[in-house]
Amino acid sequence: MIYFDNSATTKPYKEVVDLVAKISYEEFGNPASLHSFGMRAERILEQSRKQLAETLKADPEEIIFTSGGTESINMAIKGTAEAMKRSGKHILSTPIEHPAALESLKVLEEMGFTVEMLNVDDKGRIDPEELKRKIRKDTILVNIMMVNNETGVIQPVAEAAQIIKSVNPKTVFHVDAVQAYGKLPIDTRKLKADIISFSAHKIHGPRGVGMMYLRHGTKIRPILTGGGQEKQYRSGTVNVPGIAGFACAAVRKTSQMEEDNRTIRQVRERLIAELKSRMPDQIRINSPEDGLPGILSISFRSVKSEVILHALEQHEIYVSSGSACSSKKNSISHVIKALNIPAPWSDGTIRFSFCGENNEEEATACAQALQEILNTYALSK
Ligand code: PLP
Protein backbone atom coordinates (compact mmCIF):
# COMPACT_ATOMS: atom_id res chain seq x y z
CA MET A 1 0.00 0.00 0.00
CA ILE A 2 1.06 3.58 -0.61
CA TYR A 3 0.23 6.06 2.14
CA PHE A 4 0.21 9.64 0.85
CA ASP A 5 -2.02 11.05 3.62
CA ASN A 6 0.61 12.02 6.17
CA SER A 7 -0.91 15.44 6.87
CA ALA A 8 -4.07 13.72 8.11
CA THR A 9 -2.03 11.50 10.39
CA THR A 10 1.21 9.54 10.32
CA LYS A 11 2.14 5.96 11.11
CA PRO A 12 3.70 6.02 14.59
CA TYR A 13 7.37 5.06 14.79
CA LYS A 14 7.83 1.52 16.13
CA GLU A 15 9.86 2.79 19.09
CA VAL A 16 7.02 5.20 19.95
CA VAL A 17 4.47 2.38 20.08
CA ASP A 18 6.85 0.22 22.16
CA LEU A 19 7.54 3.04 24.61
CA VAL A 20 3.85 3.97 25.00
CA ALA A 21 3.01 0.29 25.65
CA LYS A 22 5.85 -0.14 28.16
CA ILE A 23 5.01 3.00 30.14
CA SER A 24 1.27 2.26 30.05
CA TYR A 25 1.90 -1.18 31.50
CA GLU A 26 4.81 -0.63 33.85
CA GLU A 27 4.61 3.03 34.92
CA PHE A 28 0.89 3.49 35.45
CA GLY A 29 1.30 5.72 38.52
CA ASN A 30 -0.43 9.08 38.55
CA PRO A 31 2.24 11.83 38.45
CA ALA A 32 0.12 13.78 40.96
CA SER A 33 0.38 10.96 43.57
CA LEU A 34 2.79 11.53 46.43
CA HIS A 35 4.18 8.00 46.62
CA SER A 36 7.29 6.82 44.82
CA PHE A 37 5.29 5.13 42.07
CA GLY A 38 3.65 8.46 41.24
CA MET A 39 6.99 10.20 41.43
CA ARG A 40 8.44 7.82 38.86
CA ALA A 41 5.64 8.78 36.48
CA GLU A 42 6.30 12.44 37.26
CA ARG A 43 9.96 12.00 36.38
CA ILE A 44 8.96 10.56 32.98
CA LEU A 45 6.58 13.48 32.46
CA GLU A 46 9.21 16.10 33.31
CA GLN A 47 11.91 14.39 31.25
CA SER A 48 9.52 14.42 28.25
CA ARG A 49 8.71 18.09 28.85
CA LYS A 50 12.43 18.87 28.88
CA GLN A 51 13.05 16.95 25.64
CA LEU A 52 10.15 18.64 23.86
CA ALA A 53 11.20 22.09 25.12
CA GLU A 54 14.71 21.50 23.79
CA THR A 55 13.36 20.90 20.26
CA LEU A 56 11.89 24.45 20.43
CA LYS A 57 14.76 26.11 22.35
CA ALA A 58 12.18 26.84 25.02
CA ASP A 59 12.12 26.63 28.81
CA PRO A 60 10.34 23.42 29.97
CA GLU A 61 8.18 25.68 32.17
CA GLU A 62 6.69 27.09 28.95
CA ILE A 63 5.28 23.71 27.83
CA ILE A 64 1.69 22.71 28.65
CA PHE A 65 0.42 19.29 27.61
CA THR A 66 -2.98 18.96 25.96
CA SER A 67 -5.01 16.35 24.11
CA GLY A 68 -3.86 17.59 20.69
CA GLY A 69 -3.75 20.46 18.24
CA THR A 70 -7.47 21.16 18.46
CA GLU A 71 -7.40 21.59 22.22
CA SER A 72 -4.27 23.73 22.15
CA ILE A 73 -5.79 26.02 19.51
CA ASN A 74 -9.11 26.30 21.39
CA MET A 75 -7.26 27.13 24.59
CA ALA A 76 -4.99 29.66 22.86
CA ILE A 77 -7.85 31.53 21.18
CA LYS A 78 -10.61 31.33 23.78
CA GLY A 79 -8.20 31.49 26.72
CA THR A 80 -6.53 34.65 25.38
CA ALA A 81 -9.87 36.33 24.64
CA GLU A 82 -11.08 35.61 28.20
CA ALA A 83 -7.85 36.87 29.77
CA MET A 84 -7.61 39.99 27.62
CA LYS A 85 -11.23 41.07 27.16
CA ARG A 86 -10.78 44.19 29.28
CA SER A 87 -8.02 45.45 26.96
CA GLY A 88 -10.06 45.10 23.77
CA LYS A 89 -12.24 42.91 21.60
CA HIS A 90 -10.48 43.04 18.23
CA ILE A 91 -8.94 39.85 16.78
CA LEU A 92 -7.10 39.31 13.48
CA SER A 93 -6.81 35.99 11.67
CA THR A 94 -6.87 34.48 8.16
CA PRO A 95 -9.65 32.72 6.22
CA ILE A 96 -7.54 29.59 5.62
CA GLU A 97 -7.00 28.54 9.24
CA HIS A 98 -7.85 25.05 10.47
CA PRO A 99 -11.49 24.62 11.61
CA ALA A 100 -10.21 24.34 15.22
CA ALA A 101 -9.31 28.03 14.94
CA LEU A 102 -12.18 29.19 12.71
CA GLU A 103 -14.83 27.59 14.93
CA SER A 104 -13.23 29.03 18.08
CA LEU A 105 -13.25 32.47 16.46
CA LYS A 106 -16.92 32.02 15.55
CA VAL A 107 -17.75 31.35 19.21
CA LEU A 108 -15.92 34.54 20.18
CA GLU A 109 -17.85 36.54 17.57
CA GLU A 110 -21.09 35.28 19.09
CA MET A 111 -19.79 36.56 22.44
CA GLY A 112 -19.25 40.07 21.04
CA PHE A 113 -15.62 39.99 19.86
CA THR A 114 -14.80 41.45 16.42
CA VAL A 115 -12.90 39.02 14.21
CA GLU A 116 -11.31 40.56 11.14
CA MET A 117 -9.82 38.34 8.42
CA LEU A 118 -6.65 39.33 6.61
CA ASN A 119 -6.67 38.90 2.84
CA VAL A 120 -4.68 36.08 1.26
CA ASP A 121 -3.25 35.99 -2.28
CA ASP A 122 -3.92 33.22 -4.83
CA LYS A 123 -1.47 30.96 -3.00
CA GLY A 124 -3.01 31.68 0.42
CA ARG A 125 -0.24 33.98 1.64
CA ILE A 126 -0.95 36.97 3.89
CA ASP A 127 0.52 40.40 3.21
CA PRO A 128 2.59 41.57 6.23
CA GLU A 129 1.93 45.20 5.22
CA GLU A 130 -1.81 44.63 5.54
CA LEU A 131 -1.25 43.06 8.96
CA LYS A 132 0.71 46.15 10.02
CA ARG A 133 -2.14 48.45 8.92
CA LYS A 134 -4.83 46.40 10.64
CA ILE A 135 -3.36 46.04 14.13
CA ARG A 136 -5.21 48.43 16.43
CA LYS A 137 -4.84 49.59 20.01
CA ASP A 138 -7.62 47.19 20.98
CA THR A 139 -6.26 44.19 19.02
CA ILE A 140 -5.87 41.52 21.69
CA LEU A 141 -5.01 38.55 19.50
CA VAL A 142 -3.52 37.72 16.11
CA ASN A 143 -3.98 34.10 15.05
CA ILE A 144 -2.05 32.75 12.03
CA MET A 145 -1.06 29.21 11.06
CA MET A 146 2.56 28.52 10.14
CA VAL A 147 1.78 25.95 7.42
CA ASN A 148 -1.61 25.41 5.84
CA ASN A 149 -2.75 21.79 6.04
CA GLU A 150 -4.42 21.74 2.61
CA THR A 151 -1.84 23.45 0.37
CA GLY A 152 1.36 23.62 2.42
CA VAL A 153 1.66 27.39 2.03
CA ILE A 154 4.12 28.78 4.60
CA GLN A 155 3.07 32.04 6.26
CA PRO A 156 5.73 34.62 7.21
CA VAL A 157 5.05 34.16 10.94
CA ALA A 158 8.46 35.38 12.16
CA GLU A 159 7.97 38.64 10.25
CA ALA A 160 4.37 38.84 11.47
CA ALA A 161 5.60 38.52 15.08
CA GLN A 162 8.08 41.39 14.62
CA ILE A 163 5.34 43.57 13.15
CA ILE A 164 2.81 42.75 15.86
CA LYS A 165 5.26 43.41 18.68
CA SER A 166 6.44 46.70 17.13
CA VAL A 167 2.90 48.04 16.54
CA ASN A 168 1.22 46.79 19.72
CA PRO A 169 3.39 44.83 22.19
CA LYS A 170 0.30 43.88 24.20
CA THR A 171 -1.27 41.94 21.32
CA VAL A 172 -0.94 38.19 21.85
CA PHE A 173 0.31 36.26 18.80
CA HIS A 174 -0.79 32.63 18.47
CA VAL A 175 0.73 30.39 15.82
CA ASP A 176 -0.78 27.03 14.83
CA ALA A 177 2.37 25.01 14.12
CA VAL A 178 0.64 21.62 13.89
CA GLN A 179 1.74 21.02 10.27
CA ALA A 180 5.10 22.75 10.64
CA TYR A 181 6.62 20.99 13.65
CA GLY A 182 9.41 18.57 12.75
CA LYS A 183 9.31 19.77 9.13
CA LEU A 184 10.54 23.36 9.53
CA PRO A 185 12.88 24.62 12.24
CA ILE A 186 11.01 26.31 15.10
CA ASP A 187 13.13 28.32 17.52
CA THR A 188 11.15 30.23 20.14
CA ARG A 189 14.09 32.61 20.65
CA LYS A 190 13.69 33.74 17.01
CA LEU A 191 9.96 33.26 16.41
CA LYS A 192 8.54 35.81 18.84
CA ALA A 193 5.08 34.23 19.10
CA ASP A 194 3.45 34.19 22.54
CA ILE A 195 1.60 30.90 22.08
CA ILE A 196 2.29 28.04 19.67
CA SER A 197 0.14 24.90 19.19
CA PHE A 198 1.46 21.42 18.38
CA SER A 199 0.17 17.88 17.84
CA ALA A 200 1.95 14.52 18.22
CA HIS A 201 0.21 12.43 15.58
CA LYS A 202 1.49 14.51 12.65
CA ILE A 203 5.08 13.52 13.46
CA HIS A 204 4.75 9.75 13.98
CA GLY A 205 3.71 10.19 17.61
CA PRO A 206 0.54 8.93 19.33
CA ARG A 207 -2.96 10.29 18.56
CA GLY A 208 -4.73 12.45 21.14
CA VAL A 209 -1.58 14.15 22.50
CA GLY A 210 -0.47 17.72 21.96
CA MET A 211 1.23 20.65 23.58
CA MET A 212 1.09 24.38 23.82
CA TYR A 213 4.12 26.63 24.08
CA LEU A 214 3.12 29.52 26.37
CA ARG A 215 5.79 32.21 26.55
CA HIS A 216 6.66 33.40 30.07
CA GLY A 217 4.44 36.34 30.96
CA THR A 218 1.59 35.47 28.56
CA LYS A 219 -1.80 35.36 30.24
CA ILE A 220 -4.51 32.91 29.25
CA ARG A 221 -7.55 31.66 31.09
CA PRO A 222 -7.81 27.87 31.27
CA ILE A 223 -10.69 26.11 29.53
CA LEU A 224 -10.51 22.84 31.47
CA THR A 225 -10.68 23.43 35.21
CA GLY A 226 -10.46 20.85 37.97
CA GLY A 227 -7.45 19.36 39.72
CA GLY A 228 -5.08 22.10 38.58
CA GLN A 229 -2.61 19.94 36.65
CA GLU A 230 -0.19 21.62 34.21
CA LYS A 231 0.24 24.65 36.50
CA GLN A 232 -3.54 25.20 36.59
CA TYR A 233 -3.65 25.71 32.81
CA ARG A 234 -5.05 22.30 31.90
CA SER A 235 -6.71 20.18 34.53
CA GLY A 236 -7.11 16.45 34.07
CA THR A 237 -4.91 13.43 34.80
CA VAL A 238 -1.91 13.75 32.54
CA ASN A 239 -1.41 11.23 29.72
CA VAL A 240 2.12 10.17 30.70
CA PRO A 241 2.57 7.31 28.16
CA GLY A 242 1.26 9.48 25.30
CA ILE A 243 3.47 12.39 26.28
CA ALA A 244 6.56 10.14 26.53
CA GLY A 245 5.66 8.83 23.05
CA PHE A 246 5.32 12.42 21.79
CA ALA A 247 8.78 13.31 23.13
CA CYS A 248 10.28 10.17 21.58
CA ALA A 249 8.75 10.99 18.17
CA ALA A 250 9.71 14.68 18.38
CA VAL A 251 13.36 14.01 19.21
CA ARG A 252 13.66 11.61 16.26
CA LYS A 253 11.63 13.72 13.81
CA THR A 254 13.43 16.98 14.55
CA SER A 255 16.87 15.36 14.39
CA GLN A 256 16.23 13.68 11.02
CA MET A 257 14.25 16.63 9.64
CA GLU A 258 16.70 17.56 6.87
CA GLU A 259 17.14 13.99 5.70
CA ASP A 260 13.35 13.46 5.68
CA ASN A 261 12.82 16.73 3.82
CA ARG A 262 15.29 15.66 1.13
CA THR A 263 13.44 12.39 0.58
CA ILE A 264 10.07 14.14 0.64
CA ARG A 265 11.20 16.72 -1.92
CA GLN A 266 12.30 13.93 -4.29
CA VAL A 267 8.95 12.14 -3.92
CA ARG A 268 7.05 15.38 -4.55
CA GLU A 269 9.16 16.29 -7.58
CA ARG A 270 8.80 12.80 -9.05
CA LEU A 271 5.01 12.88 -8.68
CA ILE A 272 4.77 16.34 -10.29
CA ALA A 273 7.10 15.37 -13.16
CA GLU A 274 5.22 12.11 -13.84
CA LEU A 275 1.83 13.83 -13.80
CA LYS A 276 3.04 16.66 -16.02
CA SER A 277 4.35 14.22 -18.61
CA ARG A 278 1.34 11.87 -18.47
CA MET A 279 -1.53 14.37 -18.25
CA PRO A 280 -0.26 17.94 -18.72
CA ASP A 281 -3.68 19.44 -19.52
CA GLN A 282 -5.59 17.65 -16.79
CA ILE A 283 -3.78 18.94 -13.71
CA ARG A 284 -3.47 22.23 -11.88
CA ILE A 285 -0.99 22.51 -9.02
CA ASN A 286 -2.43 24.58 -6.19
CA SER A 287 0.51 24.38 -3.78
CA PRO A 288 3.18 27.07 -4.04
CA GLU A 289 6.65 25.98 -5.17
CA ASP A 290 8.14 27.39 -1.98
CA GLY A 291 5.53 25.71 0.26
CA LEU A 292 6.13 22.80 2.62
CA PRO A 293 7.44 19.94 0.40
CA GLY A 294 5.33 17.36 2.24
CA ILE A 295 1.97 18.83 1.17
CA LEU A 296 0.94 18.87 -2.48
CA SER A 297 -2.52 20.00 -3.56
CA ILE A 298 -3.45 19.17 -7.15
CA SER A 299 -6.76 19.70 -8.92
CA PHE A 300 -7.83 17.34 -11.70
CA ARG A 301 -10.02 18.85 -14.44
CA SER A 302 -13.71 17.98 -14.36
CA VAL A 303 -13.43 14.92 -12.09
CA LYS A 304 -14.80 14.86 -8.57
CA SER A 305 -12.15 14.36 -5.90
CA GLU A 306 -14.19 11.58 -4.21
CA VAL A 307 -14.14 9.61 -7.48
CA ILE A 308 -10.35 9.87 -7.67
CA LEU A 309 -9.87 9.16 -3.97
CA HIS A 310 -11.91 5.96 -4.03
CA ALA A 311 -10.44 4.80 -7.33
CA LEU A 312 -6.93 5.28 -5.90
CA GLU A 313 -8.03 3.27 -2.90
CA GLN A 314 -8.68 0.33 -5.27
CA HIS A 315 -4.94 0.53 -6.05
CA GLU A 316 -4.22 0.66 -2.28
CA ILE A 317 -3.12 4.29 -2.55
CA TYR A 318 -4.39 6.55 0.22
CA VAL A 319 -4.82 10.33 -0.21
CA SER A 320 -7.21 13.07 0.94
CA SER A 321 -9.76 15.14 -0.89
CA GLY A 322 -9.04 18.68 0.29
CA SER A 323 -8.38 18.28 3.99
CA ALA A 324 -9.04 15.15 6.04
CA CYS A 325 -9.48 17.20 9.22
CA SER A 326 -12.60 18.87 7.84
CA SER A 327 -13.34 15.77 5.76
CA LYS A 328 -16.47 13.80 5.04
CA LYS A 329 -18.33 16.98 4.16
CA ASN A 330 -19.19 16.87 0.51
CA SER A 331 -18.48 20.54 -0.07
CA ILE A 332 -15.53 22.47 -1.46
CA SER A 333 -13.15 23.32 1.36
CA HIS A 334 -12.90 26.86 2.70
CA VAL A 335 -9.23 26.92 1.69
CA ILE A 336 -9.91 26.02 -1.94
CA LYS A 337 -12.68 28.65 -1.95
CA ALA A 338 -10.33 31.31 -0.54
CA LEU A 339 -7.81 30.57 -3.30
CA ASN A 340 -10.46 31.22 -5.99
CA ILE A 341 -9.72 28.02 -7.88
CA PRO A 342 -12.01 28.03 -10.94
CA ALA A 343 -14.92 25.59 -11.33
CA PRO A 344 -13.63 22.86 -13.68
CA TRP A 345 -10.81 22.34 -11.19
CA SER A 346 -12.10 23.05 -7.69
CA ASP A 347 -14.27 19.91 -7.42
CA GLY A 348 -11.34 17.63 -8.22
CA THR A 349 -8.82 18.70 -5.61
CA ILE A 350 -6.64 16.01 -4.06
CA ARG A 351 -4.09 16.46 -1.30
CA PHE A 352 -1.03 14.22 -1.45
CA SER A 353 1.02 14.40 1.73
CA PHE A 354 4.34 12.68 2.20
CA CYS A 355 6.68 11.55 4.97
CA GLY A 356 10.31 10.44 5.14
CA GLU A 357 9.26 6.81 4.73
CA ASN A 358 7.81 7.34 1.23
CA ASN A 359 9.93 6.86 -1.91
CA GLU A 360 10.04 7.90 -5.56
CA GLU A 361 8.83 4.50 -6.86
CA GLU A 362 5.61 5.11 -4.92
CA ALA A 363 5.22 8.46 -6.67
CA THR A 364 5.58 6.81 -10.09
CA ALA A 365 3.08 4.09 -9.16
CA CYS A 366 0.64 6.75 -7.98
CA ALA A 367 0.96 8.72 -11.23
CA GLN A 368 0.42 5.56 -13.26
CA ALA A 369 -2.70 4.72 -11.24
CA LEU A 370 -4.01 8.26 -11.73
CA GLN A 371 -3.47 8.01 -15.49
CA GLU A 372 -5.46 4.75 -15.62
CA ILE A 373 -8.22 6.22 -13.48
CA LEU A 374 -8.59 9.35 -15.60
CA ASN A 375 -8.53 7.35 -18.85
CA THR A 376 -11.25 5.00 -17.56
CA TYR A 377 -13.27 7.97 -16.37
CA ALA A 378 -12.97 9.73 -19.77
CA LEU A 379 -14.15 6.55 -21.57
CA SER A 380 -17.13 6.13 -19.25
CA LYS A 381 -18.39 9.69 -19.90
N1 PLP B 1 -4.15 22.59 12.94
C2 PLP B 1 -3.77 22.10 11.75
C3 PLP B 1 -3.05 22.99 10.78
C4 PLP B 1 -4.02 20.76 11.42
O5 PLP B 1 -3.67 20.27 10.24
C6 PLP B 1 -4.71 19.95 12.37
C7 PLP B 1 -5.08 18.55 12.06
O8 PLP B 1 -5.03 18.10 10.98
C9 PLP B 1 -5.06 20.50 13.61
C10 PLP B 1 -4.78 21.83 13.84
C11 PLP B 1 -5.76 19.68 14.66
O12 PLP B 1 -4.85 18.85 15.33
P13 PLP B 1 -5.36 17.55 16.14
O14 PLP B 1 -5.73 16.54 15.11
O15 PLP B 1 -4.18 17.13 16.96
O16 PLP B 1 -6.50 17.98 16.97
d(CA 130, CA 118): 7
Query: Which residue from 353, 339, 323 is spatially nearest to 119, judged by alpha carbons?
Result: 339
Are the C-beta atoms of residues 123 and 114 closer than 8 Å to each other?
A: no
Domain identity same for 263 and 247? no
Q: State the pLDDT at residue 154.
A: 98
Q: To test ligand 1's pocket by mutation, which of 96, 325, 326, 328 has the most ligand atoms within 8 angstroms of CB?
A: 325
Residue with the nearest Cα to atom 13 of ligand 1? 69
Q: To test ligand 1's pocket by mutation, which of 73, 151, 201, 202 has the most ligand atoms within 8 angstroms of CB?
A: 202
Which atom of ligand 1 is found nearest the CA of 68?
Answer: 15
d(CA 210, CA 75): 12
Number of alpha carbons in the 13 Å side-chain half-sphere of residue 256: 14
Can you give the CATH number for the domain in which 290 is found? 3.90.1150.10
Alpha helix segments (H runs only) across the chain? 14-26, 36-55, 69-84, 99-110, 128-134, 157-167, 240-255, 257-278, 305-314, 334-338, 343-346, 360-380
Burial label, 339 (beta-carbon count in 10 A; 0-12, 13-18, 19+):
buried
* Residue 92: band (very low, low, confident or very high) from pLDDT cuts 50, 70, 90: very high
Are the C-beta atoms of residues 29 and 37 closer than 8 Å to each other?
A: yes
* Residue 29: band (very low, low, confident or very high) from pLDDT cuts 50, 70, 90: very high
Tens-digit pLDDT profile for residues 138-197? 999 999 999 999 999 999 999 999 999 999 999 999 999 999 999 999 999 999 999 999
d(CA 39, CA 43): 6
Q: Does the pLDDT at position 280 exceed 60?
A: yes
Tens-digit pLDDT profile for residues 210-255? 999 999 999 999 999 999 999 999 999 999 999 999 999 999 999 9
366 belongs to the catalytic site: no
Of the candidates 195, 228, 255, which is a domain's last residue?
255
Annotated active-site residue in 248, 325, 355, 366 = 325
Of the candidates 193, 224, 255, which is a domain's last residue?
255
The proportion of the chain whose per-residue pLDDT surpasses 70, expressed as a percent, equals: 97
Q: Is 100 in the pocket of ligand 1 (CB under 6 A)?
A: yes
* Residue 199: band (very low, low, confident or very high) from pLDDT cuts 50, 70, 90: very high
Domain span at residue 181? 14-255
Going from the Cα of 197 to the center of ligand 1, the distance in angstroms, rounded, reads: 9
Going from the Cα of 266 to the center of ligand 1, the distance in angstroms, rounded, reads: 25
Going from the Cα of 144 to the center of ligand 1, the distance in angstroms, rounded, reads: 13
Tens-digit pLDDT profile for residues 332-354? 889 988 888 888 898 899 999 99
Domain identity same for 230 and 278? no
Domain identity same for 159 and 239? yes
Going from the Cα of 70 to the center of ligand 1, the distance in angstroms, rounded, reads: 6
Of the candidates 255, 279, 313, which is a domain's last residue?
255
Q: Is 96 in the pocket of ligand 1 (CB under 6 A)?
A: no
If one counts the domains in the chain, the total is 2
Q: Is 5 in the pocket of ligand 1 (CB under 6 A)?
A: no
Domain identity same for 239 and 297? no
Going from the Cα of 181 to the center of ligand 1, the distance in angstroms, rounded, reads: 11
